[in-house]
Amino acid sequence: MVVSKPVVLVTGASGGVGRGIALACGQSGWTVWIAARRQEEGEGVAREVTEAGGRGCFVPCDVSVAESVESAVATVVEAENRLDGAVHNATSALSPRPVRLGEVPVSDLRDHVAVSVRGTWLLARETLPHLLEAQGALLLLTSEAGFEGKAKLSPYAGVKAAQRGIGRALAREWGPKGVRVNCLAPLAASPAMESAFELDPEMADRVLGRNPLGRLGDPALEIGAAARFLLSRDASYVTGHTLMVDGGSCSVT
Amino acid sequence: MAMGASALDTIVLGTPVDEARALARALSASWLELPPMGAGDADWQAIRERVTSHAPCPRVVLAVWCEAPRPGPFVSMSPDAWLARCEAPLIAWSVALGCAADLCADEGSIVAVIEAPNSLDASEWVPESGVSDAAQALVRSVAHAEGPRGVRANAVTAPLRLAPSQLVAPAPPLDRFPGELADEVAGAVEMLLSPWASGITARTLAADCGRA
């Protein structure tokens, strides 16, 4: 029996952790669709996936817009005739911006919610029929911020926690259908983290000072590999779980 | 009511639903009404301004609840249902907790009462599970931000209206599950508001008769 390699879609994969997940899947020969707004960067990551041994493709996608997610998923399924896994990694560009909760413009709160949480719903809604057919998996990128809260990144902490709550409950709802749902909480060397460190100069000491391994994770080798595991058949009995890939940093799991 | 507290010491910031007002009565607290779920940006900004001009209060309780929640499969919700069950409550909790931080006096205490489906019973309550986790993370964020001025922030979770009529086995240890707002839930709130909890912050207490 020939078992074909999985086909997965990763949102927000034009850079950072999403790119790392895409590359890790590519290294195992998987077909990876980069679903992102930035076409040039997304096509670049798709080429990297192909160079890594997989097959990379780009599809434009704004995860906060129903028609865009619908079109992106339809494009993938039309081309591949299947979808084994979907990863929601995209977050608001406002994520690393430090701000006091009482002073966050309501429009900014809505942007956080639209990208992280509405994006989760839209991606789940559009991919479920195909994940059902493939008995596949949905993976949501959350954060240690969603466990412990963040004094200066409250909106980010809130939406990341929302994704974890959704993932845990959705695993219970989709489990009888044979579709798994998990979350992954990375601490990665990414452009978003670099930006957060620049905007809050004390943040690097706070983040790394408590980290037993004393460093940020590699987006492909460490974060991506863990994501690939959760998407793969090797994790066929893992659902409703949040895997911390944070070097032991978060103390409240 | 907490030791030595009076109605003037405790404010419930609540959305305009009967259950939230009932909590204020159970706590003998004064009432400051938030806009309804789904309010526009101008309404949320207006409540922020109102809170800013309010005298600081030593005990602030939040009851940010929607009208008559109904379960349903995650992916078959209409866009309107999605907004009502998830996005609107997320915005409401975010603004309300910011207001609570602004309203709470130095050395004061904030308790958010969060309707939370237990994990075992969470199927078809997926948006509500997300909102519950988000509200708890926001409470912890406020605890971190306001802790340096002595403010504590904690959460009480309870299934309340989200408790299913048919439970997934095993049964909760206490057969009075899901408990009563005026008894189990108000009691947990009063404990966290009281000086007995002076070393407790950034925590969630599940008032769910052991279901969790």
Query: How far does B145 lie from chain A, in Å, by closest CA?
Result: 4
Taking only the tens place, the pLDDT of each residue in A88-97 is 999 999 988 8
Q: Cα separation of A90 and A156, whole Å? A: 12
Taking only the tens place, the pLDDT of each residue in B148-207 is 999 999 999 999 888 887 888 788 899 888 888 888 899 999 999 999 999 999 999 999
Question: For strand B104-115 and strand B57-63, is the pairing parallel, antiparallel, or unpaired?
Answer: parallel
CATH topology (fold) of A7-241: Rossmann fold (3.40.50)
**Active-site pick, A147, A156, A174, A197:** A156
Question: What pLDDT is recorded for position B1?
Answer: 44
Q: Are B21 and B31 in contact (CB under 8 A)?
A: yes
CA angle A179, A181, A183 (to 5 degrees): 165
Chain B segment 1-60 residues within 8 A of A by beta carbon are 41, 44-45, 48
Q: Give the three-state DSSP class for A90.
A: coil
Taking only the tens place, the pLDDT of each residue in A190-206 is 888 888 888 888 888 88
What CATH class does B7-206 carry?
A: alpha beta
Domain-wise residue ranges, chain B: 7-206
Please indicate whether, in this complex, the C-beta atoms of B91 and A113 are within 8 angstroms of each other. yes
Query: How far does A9 lie from chain B, in Å, by closest CA?
Result: 18
Query: How far does A21 lie from chain B, in Å, by closest CA?
Result: 24
Domain-wise residue ranges, chain A: 7-241
| The total number of residues written for chain A in this structure | 253
Residues of B in contact with A240 (CB under 8 A): 119
**ipTM here:** 0.94
Name residues of chain A where pLDDT drops below 50.
Answer: none
Three-state SS string over chain B comes to: CCCCCCHHHEEEEECCCHHHHHHHHHCCCEEEECCCCCCCHHHHHHHHHHHHCCCCEEEEEEECCCCCCCCCCCCCCCHHHHHHHHHHHHHHHHHHHHHHHHHEEEEEEEEEEEECCCHHHCCCCHHHHHHHHHHHHHHHHHHHHHHHHCCEEEEEEECHHHCCCCCCCCCCCCCCCCCCHHHHHHHHHHHHHCHHHCCCCCCEEECCCCCC
* pTM for this predicted structure: 0.95
Q: Cα separation of A84 and A135, whole Å? A: 7
Q: What number of C-beta contacts closer than 8 Å exist between A and B?
A: 156
E strand or H helix at A15 = none
Q: Give the three-state DSSP class for A133.
A: helix
Active site residue A156: yes
What are the residues whose beta carbons fall under 8 Å from the beta carbon of A160, sequence distance 6 or more? A116, A142, A143, A145, A146, A185, B137
